[in-house]
Each structure stands twice: as C-alpha cells, then as structure tokens.
Chain A
Amino acid sequence: MSAVIDTHAQDHHHGPAKGISRWLFTTNHKDIGSMYLMFSFAMFLLGGSMAMVIRAELFQPGLQIVEPEFFNQMTTMHGLIMVFGAVMPAFVGLANWMLPLMIGAPDMALPRMNNWSFWLLPCAFLILVSTLFMQGGAPNFGWTFYAPLSTTYGPPSTTFFIFAVHIMGVSSIMGAINVIATVLNMRAPGMTLMKMPLFVWTWLITAFLLIAVMPVLAGVVTMMLMDIHFGTSFFDASGGGDPVLFQHVFWFFGHPEVYIMILPAFGAISHIVSAFSRKPLFGYASMVYAVGAIAIMSFLVWAHHMFTVGMPLAGQLFFMYATLLIAVPTGVKVFNWVTTMFRGSLSFEAPMLFAVAFIILFTIGGFSGLMLAIAPADFQYHDTYFVVAHFHYVLVPGAIFGIFASAYFWLPKWTGYMYDETLAKTHFWLSFVGMNLAFFPMHFLGLAGMPRRIPDYALQFTNFNMISSVGAFMFAATQLLFLFIVVKCVRGGEKAPAKPWDGAEGLEWTVPSPAPYHTFSTPPEVK
C-alpha cells in the first residue's frame, strides 16, 4: 500500500475536500457511490411510506384514510420511486463503489460524467415528488402509465412526470456508459473478461440493457408529451393512433427493465454465496452465459405483460414459450448457487442469510412468474393481486435483499468497522417474516379474484389484507433498524481487517478497510 501513497505524495495532495463541496463537485467513485446509496435509501423510505398509506387503507374494506384519487397517486408514485429511485440507484451506487475496486482501477473511466449522472437524480425526483403538491395531484395512472389513461385522462402534472422520466433516463444512460467504459478499458493487467468477478459481469450486461431500453422509455414518454401538447395521435384512436401500441413500446422497455433490477443482485449474490460457503463459485462460465442469455431473451418476451389485449393465438404462443424458456438460464443460476453451497463450510452471517433468503424467495417469485407466463391461465391472474405478489416476490427478496446482502457484505470495506451482527440478524429475521407476511397472502387474494390498484375491496378479502398490512408495517419499521445499523457502523465499532470474511475472494479485499480515498493508483497484477 505504501507504493500507492508514494505515488500520490509526488502529485498534489489528495484527500476529500471539506464541507459541502466535497459532495457537490466530487469525482471520486467512492464518494459518488456513497451518495447513490444514501439517495437510494432515502427514496426507499419515501416509496415505503407511500406503501404504508396503501396498506393502511387496505387494512379494512371501505374507505377509511384516503380518497381513491390519492390512493391511485400513492400506488403510482410508490412504483415509480421504488423502481427508478430506490432499486436502480442502489445498484449504480454499488457499481460505483465496487467495480473499480474489483477490477483494480483507480476510479471510474468518466469521473466527471459520474458526478453529473448522480446529481441529475435528485433533480428528477424533486420534480417527480413535487407533482404531489400540484393542482390535480400527482400522476395517478399506475407506474406503467398506460395511454390513454396518462395522455387523455392524466392530470396536468403528467408533463412534469414526463420531464422527470427524461432526466432519470439521461442519468441512467450516463451511468451505463460509465460502467461499460470502466469495465472495458480499466481492468488491471491480466484480468481477462472471463476472469472478471461476476458482479462486474452482471453489471456490464445490465449496462448494455440500460443503453438498449432507456432510450425507448424516453421515446415513449416523448410520444406521450407530443400527444398531450402537440396534437399528434400516437396513442389516440380518433387521430388514427392506437393505445395498444403504447403497451408494446412501454413493455419493450419494461421487460428488460425488470432484469436491469435483478441482474446486478445475481452478481453480488454469487460472491456472497461463494464467500460464506468457503468454496469457489460453481460453474462460473455457465453463470456468465446464463446472464447473457437472460439479457438477450428479455427482448423477446415483452408481450407476456399484455396477453389480454386481444393478441392472435400465434403471438400468445410465441410469447408464452419464449417466457418459459427464460426459466432455463435462471434455473442454471439457482442450481449453481445451490451447488456452490453443497458440502461447503457454511456460516450464516447477515449477508449470507440475505443471500440464502434471496435464492429461496426469488425462486418462489420466479415460479409465480411461470404461472403468469402461461397465456391461458394469465387471463385469470391478469391485473389481480397475484401479479402484485409475483413482482414483489422478485423485487423485495430479490433486488432489495440482494442490496441488503451486498451492503452488509461490503460495509466493513466501506466504513472500516464491522457492523453489529446481532442487530443485522434481527434486521434479517424481521424483514424476512414481515416481507413474507405482507406478500404471501397476496397470492391467495389474487387467485380469489381481488383486482390490483383498488382502494376498497369485497368483504371476503378482509383477513388476508389485514395479515398483509401487518406484515408490511413490520417490514417497513424494520428498515429503520437498518438505518440505525449502518449509522452505528459508520460511527465506529470493531475494527475491520482488510478481508473480514475468510472465504471472500477478489481484489477489493486486498486494499485496507476502510478503503483509502484513492486505491489502485498503481494497477495490481492479476494472475
């Protein structure tokens, strides 16, 4: 390490700048990564509190707490904030922190753009959240903003929503370009593509997905903007347009988007399972190819979100079989994780608990996805709580547990201190129980026919909704514990060694904990 410090002694003195300018003007990947993670957690709490409004209203049948209009705004904003504000920025934050450390690079390839792509995000979400206080209220058409609900019948604030989506799209695209440039150009000598850690691989593929689909999202909101303000008729039947076209274009973005939210978690989980099994990952190459296959196939299945629009039989069959086919590479990954654990020397610290829960619960979410993929059955499940149960099972114990696992796994590296293991395990078990209580009954509600996005429901759904609300409150309260654990870990605790997990592999564990402000100024040699 002294070599690193020597190099910098010759250069002008480096260290974080003081005060607010450190954060405003920083080009340091660790600072930007931390900001991304903090922003994402703030959005997680905001989106979560909106979910609490939803669950409080649904605790009993009838209208108790909010008006139906406001309820719709809550479901819409909850979805948008969680997808674009919480999950995606969290993974970009992890990428910023870990990619340079994992590939032995001194920083991201385009540090100034990195700063810009972060600071666009608070601007975008300031605009989005401000719509709550506008006349006519926030967007209320669901996070999928189907036309004509969002064009002809949307509130005036829809224009602000469109602008916010444009800005967050630009931010995501810049982040993706940065990841691609970093991974392709800045790997340490000797680190060939097939020697890259899996988190780097999954992020590289995610970045390609982002570049491919974020512009399509920008395109579809631009079309909406033109329909609303410039008299075009992309989605307006009276001018020769077609509302179904909206769904096609939206889901052409939307389906790869769901893989954008899960692939980086796949990568992180692979590291964690291998570290706490004290075995190298089983089937590294097949993991890489599986992620690639999932990414490519994600472009061929979008219409499984819209089986009920009146598609011809051939179309339904194609999208059904293509969707079922994705289970194959996903299955390869799940079996590889399980095989990695098989006869390993397992220990269950908090990252591993979250990782194992990820594997089990994500698989449940995957199976309900397979049920939904079956076109004839989907007509029964479409737009019911079964769909809500499905995507919360892949996003909460999938993406979010993946982020928690990563956070606990790398917190010692970030802060230099060990987190409080007892509290972390408490956080896990409360999250695990709360999350399952909240989302498992939704399967039954959906199968029994409760539609999604409604503020009121028939009496027979009461018990499951109450259980679900109690679970949701429990899950949400538990996340404040996570905040406490992280703050406690930042402020002090047991000193973390450079490599706190004895089974962990990778360049990030060769630098001291906490990782110095500048690392790998001299590239390490990878054999």
Chain B
Amino acid sequence: MAHDTETSQPLRRSNSRVIAWCLSGVVGMFAFGFALVPLYEVFCEITGINGKTGGRYEASAVQQVDEDRTVRVQFLASNGPGMTWEFRPVVRSVDVHPGEVVTVNFYAANGTEEAMVGQAVPSLAPSEGTLYFHKTECFCFNQQPLDAGESVEMPLIFIVDRDLPEHITKLTLSYTLYDQGKPVNVSRTDRVQTKTNNNG
C-alpha cells in the first residue's frame, strides 16, 4: 500500500478540517434556530405586526388632542383554555380622539372555590394600528391574583396616537385571560406586585 502512506496523511487532515467546519455549521444553525425567537420578538415589536402591542408607554410630551377625528376602540375579552373566571370589558367600545388619554375598566371575577392568578395577553387588530396604540397603564402588565369569590375592576389607560393612518377608523383590542395557577403564598400587599411577564 505504498500510495496509501503518500496520500492518506494529508487527506485525513483535511477530512477533520471539513468535519470541524461542518460541525460548527451545525452548531451555529442550531443556535440560529433559537436566536429566531428573540429576533422574531424584536421584529414584531419594531414593525408592530402580529397585533402585539408594546409595553408601558412613556409619553415624552403631552400630545395635542385631535378633536376633528374620532376613532372607535372596541374591547373584547375571552378566557384561555381551562380558565373559569368571568372576564369582560365594562364598556364594549369607546369613541376617542387621537391624542386623548382614555381610561377604561375590565371586570374580572373569580367564581371558583380557591385563590387563582390570571394573566391577560393583549392583541390588537388591525395589526397595522399596533404602533399607534399606546398603553400608559394596563392590567396586562402584571399578573392578577384573586381570592375565591373575589372580583376586581382592572384599569387600562391608553392613548391613540395622532399619527394613526387616516384609513383606520376602528381598532379592536382583544384580551385573553390565562390561568397562571395558584398564587404564591405571600402577604396581600406584596401580591399585587407579582412578577411581570413583560408581554405587553
């Protein structure tokens, strides 16, 4: 096997180089698959697609109210799988002027026999309007614990941006309330500040 000693040495070296490159490609693409998760989040946040409304809005300056324009904002509330709370908006819809600070309430009641924690997740339609719908305060920023039989009115304070495209005359804000299990045993005052999921 004279030719073997001549050729196989350099070959084996380059084989391991090819394997190393390929494996780094494999590991890189596996990581890329997971990197798609935050990339997708950021992409949706920037473009406002997918109806994901942003987090808490800090108004830099008080916007002037555009009295000439009226936008109807409708509210929907529904329960996630297995959630038994009564959950509904106090008003079905409001007519607002862009720039105006509006407060509405959502009603939730725990009709079960035990304490539970709920978390509302918002979605806005049409998704094109997402970038122009600002929430300065929202119950969806926090988890909501309720004792057995307890009910609560949860506030939402929002501003519809003056830059909302002209052709959008109606926005629909929908909340889905999810069961987050039993509350962690802490004193009542602490419980209000349960962890934030930061899902807007």
Contact = CB atoms under 8 A, between A and B. Distances in A.
Interface of A: 7, 10-11, 109-110, 152, 173, 176-177, 180-181, 184-186, 211-216, 218-220, 223, 234, 237-240, 242, 244-245, 248-249, 252, 310-312, 315, 522
Given A180-B18, A181-B19, A249 B50 contact: no
A212 B33 CA distance: 10
B33 A249 contact: yes
Contacts of A152: 81
A211 B25 contact: yes
A212 B25 contact: yes
B57 interface: no
A215 B26 contact: yes
A220 B36 CA distance: 10
10 contacts: A109-B11, A109-B15, A184-B18, A212-B29, A216-B32, A237-B80, A237-B178, A238-B180, A311-B49, A312-B47
Interface string B46-59: 01011110000000
B37 A238 contact: no
A471 B112 CA distance: 57
B27 interface: yes
Interface of B: 1, 3, 11, 14-15, 18-19, 22-23, 25-30, 32-34, 36-37, 40, 44, 47, 49-52, 80-81, 119, 121, 127-128, 176, 178-180, 197-199
Nearest to B80: A238
B81 A240 contact: no
A390 B118 CA distance: 45
B18 A218 contact: no
Contact of B29 (A180, A181, A211, A245): A211
Contact of B128 (A7, A11, A220, A312): A312
A214 B26 CA distance: 8
B36 to A, nearest CB: 5
B112 to A, nearest CB: 17
A242 B49 contact: no
A248 B40 contact: yes
B127 A312 contact: yes
A240 B19 contact: no
B15 A181 contact: yes
B1 A315 contact: no
Nearest to A176: B22
B9 to A, nearest CB: 12
B164 to A, nearest CB: 16
B18 A211 contact: no
Given A238-B121, A311-B49, A215 B30 contact: yes
Nearest to B7: A523
Contacts of B49: 310-312, 315
Nearest to B120: A238
A377 B50 CA distance: 22
A239 B36 contact: no
A310 B127 contact: yes
Nearest to A235: B37
Contact of A215 (B33, B44, B178): B33
A173 B26 contact: yes
A117 to B, nearest CB: 13
Contacts of B47: 312
Contacts of A10: 1
Closest 10 CB pairs of A and B: A219-B33, A238-B178, A240-B199, A215-B30, A215-B29, A216-B33, A177-B22, A181-B18, A211-B25, A215-B26
A204 to B, nearest CB: 12
A219 B28 CA distance: 11
A281 to B, nearest CB: 28
Nearest to A218: B30
Contacts of B32: 215-216, 219
Contacts of B26: 173, 211, 214-215
